[in-house]
Amino acid sequence: MKKLFTIFALIVLTAGSIGLISSRQSPSHKERPEAVAGAFDYYLLTLSWSPTFCLTHKDDAQCSGKGYGFVLHGLWPQYAQGGWPQSCPPLSKLSAEQRSKGLTLFPTQKLLYHEWRKHGTCSGLGATGYLDAADKALAAVNIPEQLQPFGDSYYFKAQEIADLFRKSNPKIPADGIAVICSGPELAEVRVCLDKDLRFAACGKGVRTQCRNGNIRVPPKR
């Protein structure tokens, strides 16, 4: 009986060791690819609805009665199969001239610095080239008249917001835009662009994230 027990214990220990080796060799999660500047597939132009941001960030510089509607959150390099590179070396600082240019695009200096460091460095364009690309991307998107800054709350379905953008920008494909909500409010509209900053289909994982039914679009602050 002791001999049988010993054999059984050896089998269990051997199986456990094999399982441990197997788990080390085959991780269950997919590792993020190494971030390399310029190595990406397309851009995601992210426009933030400033009044919603200001509901929870009242002390932010963009929330001091400037009356913003959509503002530039960022121009993000993306992978077609999902995910994105970030903080690509070398992490160079912005010059005074570049900061001046960036503040004509981003609503705050804090956001400018964050976006350059996390996303802009991965464009492979350098700071000046990245800011020029962000400027060009912003100019390519016409904000619908119905979504210009206004004094009262409005309510739309997420699909209605996407349709308004596509009506104002007919070349945006049906799968080239995503509407993002923060709870019951509109937070962002994301538009996909190819590396030449032309409207394009979005990659894996970029999709509308809002509840069903009407969502609130808060008024300007």
pLDDT confidence tier of residue 208, bands split at 50, 70 and 90: very high
Supply the residues annotated as catalytic: 73, 115, 119
pLDDT tens per residue, range 102-122: 999 999 999 999 999 999 999
Does residue 199 contact residue 173 with C-beta atoms inside 8 Å?
yes
**Summary mean pLDDT of the chain:** 89
Q: What helix, strand, coil percent values describe the chain, rounded to 5?
A: 40, 20, 45
The most confident of the ranges 5-9, 24-28, 55-59 is 55-59
To 5 degrees, how large is the angle CA 93–CA 125–CA 92? 15
Question: 């690309």: which residue's tokens?
Answer: 133
Lowest-confidence pick of 2-16, 34-48, 123-137, 144-158: 2-16
pLDDT attached to residue 21 = 36
Q: Is the predicted pLDDT of residue 15 greater than 80, yes or no?
A: no
pLDDT attached to residue 34 = 81
Does residue 185 contact residue 215 with C-beta atoms inside 8 Å?
yes
pTM of the model as a whole: 0.85
pLDDT attached to residue 33 = 66
pLDDT tens per residue, range 35-77: 999 999 999 999 999 999 999 999 999 998 899 999 999 999 9
User: What are the C-alpha distances in Å from 141 to residues 111, 137, 160, 170?
Assistant: 20, 7, 17, 10
pLDDT confidence tier of residue 193, bands split at 50, 70 and 90: very high
Using alpha carbons, select from 202, 218, 205 the residue that is nearest to residue 49. Answer: 218
pLDDT tens per residue, range 140-179: 999 999 999 999 999 999 999 999 999 999 999 999 999 9
Q: What is the mean pLDDT of residues 76-102?
A: 97
Question: Hey, what domains does the chain have and what are their CATH numbers?
Answer: 42-217 (3.90.730.10)
Rounded to an integer, what distance in angstroms lies between the CA atom of residue 182 and that of residue 57?
13
pLDDT attached to residue 81 = 97
Does residue 67 contact residue 221 with C-beta atoms inside 8 Å?
yes
Percent of the chain with pLDDT over 90: 83
The DSSP line for 153-177 is: -EEEEHHHHHHHHHHHSTTS-TTSE
Q: Is the predicted pLDDT of residue 26 greater than 60, yes or no?
A: no
Does residue 44 contact residue 76 with C-beta atoms inside 8 Å?
yes
